[in-house]
Structure 1
Amino acid sequence: MNYLSAGKQHLEQLLALEAKCFKTDRMSRRSMKRFIEHNHAVFEVAECNGQLVGYALVLFHRGTRLARLYSIAVDPDMQGRGIASQLMKDAEKGAIEHGALYLRLEVNLHNHGAISLYKKFGYREFGLLHDYYEDHADALRMQKQIRTPQAQSMTAQVPWYRQTTDFTCGPAALMMAMGALDKQRVHTVSDELVIWREATTIFMTSGHGGCHPLGLAIAAVRRNFNAEVWINQTQPLFVDGVRDTDKKAIIAKVHEDYEQEAAALHIDVEYANITQERIADACRDGEVVLVLISTFRLDSKKAPHWVVVSGVDEKCFYLHDPDPDDKHQDPLDCQYIPIARQDFEKMSQFGSSRLRTAIILSR
């Protein structure tokens, strides 16, 4: 069995295979030809004794790290020989080489064989599309994170903790970091709320306050950890989203108090942009890094949000996010989330002042 990239010489056999495998939703000659010639697609075929017996086609979403398994087919007479599995492996490998971090697909809700194959490869269901196919059948949507950190690129094994309120991402992130450095440490909801009271700025854009990097660092030092803080500005933080002058004054006062307490505790504060190299070095040295991000690239909202860097390699940073999209989301989907380095650079700044701040935690 040979596996190779589709070429113009395969066009007629691909069309014949398409007709043999699918009664509806077949690719046209024009589409098939265009995909063969497309530079930003992965189009793999399987040949047996010169006869084309299978293919897999992956397309990419421009401007994102998302790929889509557009179609996969194996000659019915050749099924059961591992062809689909090898095509899936090649499709994922090609998608990774193109910079994709996630691979999505749609599958007929009644195609139990294909669904079983995808689940075997680690794909998870995340949606249902009604009346999706030409025959009005429903489609199951599935997704897989295809890029994961290798053991050597992971920081100290980071436990995952789900924040229990809408406003305690900072304490939850700090608890994950402390748990990575102290395996015996057990955290409770009470710990989460106590840390929030110690670290909160009191006011944010609206509602409950968010956590100040110096406040979180002070909370960590009080619990016998070392903290190194990076902040790229010296003025009070989080005031640009607050209109009320009285609230601004309170935030400024809290900021001043945190600076004084951090100095008294001899916490190292660097008033500069933390670099990706510094974050990567910290992870490799067994330290744990908390980073404030803007959630815009995650949920289209411009909210400040604390996460933990749980791994790093030459292409990505991996994050532990304490806040699932919904209460039913699988916790595994919130761990080792791959973020391309260039995307991380944009994500790890917040507000009109482009605040960039991080905390490096060690024993």
Structure 2
Amino acid sequence: MEIEFRLANIDDLPALLALENQCFASDRLTPRSFRWMLAHAHASLLVAQRDEQVMGYALLLFHRGTSLARLYSIAIAPQARGEGLGARLLERAEQCALEHERAYLRLEVRADNPKAIALYERHGYRRFAQVEDYYEDHASALRYEKRIVQRPAGKARSVPYYAQTTDFTCGPACLLMAMAALRPGCEPSRREEVRIWREATTVFMTSGHGGCSPQGLALAAWRRGFGVRLHLSTDGPLFLDGVRQANKKEVMQLVHEDFCAELQETDVQRARGPLDLPSVLGEGGLVLVLISNYQLTRTKAPHWVLVTGCDDDFVYLHDPDTDHARHRQALDCQHLPVSHGQFQRMSLFGGKKVRAAAVVFANR
């Protein structure tokens, strides 16, 4: 009987668990994980069925706000192997990613699984990383990527990745990544992450610790010997609208004015016009951009990301927030392809549609 492909539903859970146990000795998806994928995740779970039996599945995760999909897991029942079902599921997964307007598909495969590696490479997947000690049994993983929208791809710059270690240090994490890329031997560290935050924070936010202002991050980079150009659509402090208490607003205003006074004593450049990413990147700069996190996580919070490259179709970002609760890992947050339209939308923050970016260069 011919194989049929469809989206899974909760009634498939027993068959999916049985298949998982047949195919994998470790790193198995749990019943809870399957339920979450089926009911809540930004994902698609495809099943291949014959004679009302599940012969295989492919699980896709979609990275919100980007053009990236991840093939999280693929499994084929032992009795269905050797029939080309893996290739057919992979093709279905790519088609599903295209239907969700994704242009890139990424995946991991065990380094000791030559059959799976050969399958992906036959289908045009490009290896771009190896991760040691990735699986529960300490085996290595190979990371593969395919651009499924077939257009010439620009190259993202080689930029070391550093994940923020607190909820409020996205800006310092981005600056650390830029510094490491621009100055070999400049190693990111948590001590330096917190030190930059202390220098650049605006002190208060709606609750808890405050984020970093573009002026504060510019000063932190300048003090470390880097050239900086600020692109701002407003001269005032950015986050006052999110603070209710008058005394907190007063402190934030004072901090902002102090940053501005310090900037007057530096050669940090300031620009009002739109940011020309190709030109800036061509000059050798790296760009810290303030975005609204709503496009990525559906939470209305300011967030700093680092632009690592762009081409005619996409802007590529390092997002320092790995957000493990959403089955994301550090490698899922590197060189994220975001369409130019998506990037323009996410780089407008707040009701006043504020734009803020800090371009960092190797030398002043």
TM category (shorter chain) comes to 0.5 to 0.7
Q: How does 1:128-147 map to 2 (within 5 A)?
A: 146-147=146-147
Aligned to 2:94: 92
Gap change, CA 1:158 and 1:145, over 3 Å in 2:
same
Work out whether residues 318 and 335 of structure 2, in 8 Å CA contact, stay in contact via their aligned partners in 1. Answer: yes
Aligned equivalent of 1:295, options 293, 296, 319: 293
- SS across alignment from 2:240: coil
Change (3 A) 1:173 1:253: same
Tell me the equivalent position of 1:4. none
Change (3 A) 1:163 1:79: closer
Runs of 5+ consecutive residues of structure 1 not aligned to the other structure:
1-15, 26-55, 106-111, 124-142
Greater Cα shift, 182-191 or 223-232 = 182-191
* Residue of structure 1 in register with 2:166 after alignment: 165
Q: Provide the rounded CA distance (Å) in 1 between the counterparts of 2:179 and 2:68.
A: 32
Q: Give the CA deviation at 1:163.
A: 1.1
Is the 2:105–2:147 contact (alpha carbons within 8 Å) kept by the matching residues of 1? no
Structure 2 counterpart of 1:109: none
Q: CA–CA distance in 2 between the matches of 1:212 and 1:348? A: 15
Task: Determine the structure 1 residue equivalent to 2:201.
Answer: 200
Which runs of structure 2 are paired with 1:36-75 in the superposition (5 Å)? 65=67
Cα deviation digits, residues 100-144 of structure 1 (max 9, x gap): 235599xxxxxx9x9888887699xxxxxxxxxxxxxxxxxxx98
Deviation at 1:270, TM superposition (A): 1.4
Please name the residue that 2:243 is paired with: 242
2:178 paired residue number: 177
Offset at residue 187 of structure 1 (A): 2.3
Shift of 1:217: 0.7
Aligned residues: 288
Q: CA, structure 1 residues 251+308, in 2 after alignment: closer, same or farther (shift >3 Å)?
A: same
Q: Per the alignment, in what secondary structure is the counterpart of residue 167 of structure 1?
A: coil
Structure 2 residue 303 is the aligned partner of structure 1 residue 318? no
1:338 aligns with 2:323: no
- Provide, for residues 35-57 of structure 1, a one-character-per-residue CA deviation record: whole Å limited to 9, x for no partner: xxxxxxxxxxxxxxxxxxxxx9x
User: Quick check: 1:170–1:306 contact (8 Å CA) kept in 2?
Assistant: yes
Q: In the TM superposition, what is the alpha-carbon distance from 1:236 to its structure 2 partner?
A: 2.2
Change in Cα spacing, 1:84 to 1:350, as seen in structure 2 (3 Å) is same
Q: Give the CA deviation at 1:262.
A: 1.0
Match of 1:191? Answer: 192
Q: Secondary structure at the match of 2:241?
A: coil
C-alpha distance in structure 2 between counterparts of 1:163 and 1:225, whole Å: 21
In the TM superposition, what is the alpha-carbon distance from 1:284 to its structure 2 partner? 2.9
2:2 corresponds in structure 1 to 17
SS at match of 1:17: coil
> SS at the partner of 2:167?
coil
What TM-score do you get using the length of structure 1 for normalisation?
Answer: 0.65
Q: Give 1 or 2 for the bigger CA radius of gyration.
A: 1
Partner in structure 1 of residue 356 of structure 2: 357
CA change 1:147–1:306 in 2 (3 A) is farther
Distance 1:293 1:64, change over 3 A: closer
* Range 239-248 or range 222-231, more displaced: 239-248
Compute the displacement of 1:302 (Å): 0.6
Q: Which amino acid aligns with 2:348?
A: Q
Unaligned runs of 5+ in 2: 10-57, 108-112, 128-142
**Change in CA separation of 1:168 and 1:77 when aligned onto 2, cut-off 3 Å:** closer
Separation of aligned partners in 2, 1:244 and 1:287 = 38
Same amino acid, percent of matched pairs: 43
- Going from structure 1 to structure 2, the CA distance change for 1:188 and 1:64 (only over 3 Å counts) comes to closer
- Given that residues 92 and 146 in structure 1 are in contact (C-alpha distance below 8 angstroms), is that contact kept between their aligned partners in structure 2? no
Deviation of the 1:153 alpha carbon: 2.4
Taking the aligned partners of 1:92 and 1:250, their CA distance within structure 2 comes to 51
Residue identity in the other structure for 1:283: L
Q: What is the alpha-carbon distance in structure 2 between the residues aligned to residue 144 and residue 346 of structure 1?
A: 29
Query: Is contact 2:218–2:230 with CA below 8 Å preserved after alignment?
Result: yes
Which AA in structure 2 matches 1:163?
Answer: Q
Relative to structure 1, the CA distance from residue 166 to residue 119 in structure 2 (aligned partners, 3 Å threshold; closer, same or farther) is: farther
- Asked if the contact 2:287–2:307 (Cα under 8 Å) also holds between the matched residues in 1, the reply is yes
Change (3 A) 1:179 1:103: closer
Per the alignment, residue 137 of structure 1 pairs with none
Offset, 1:245 = 1.4
How far did 1:292 drift?
0.7
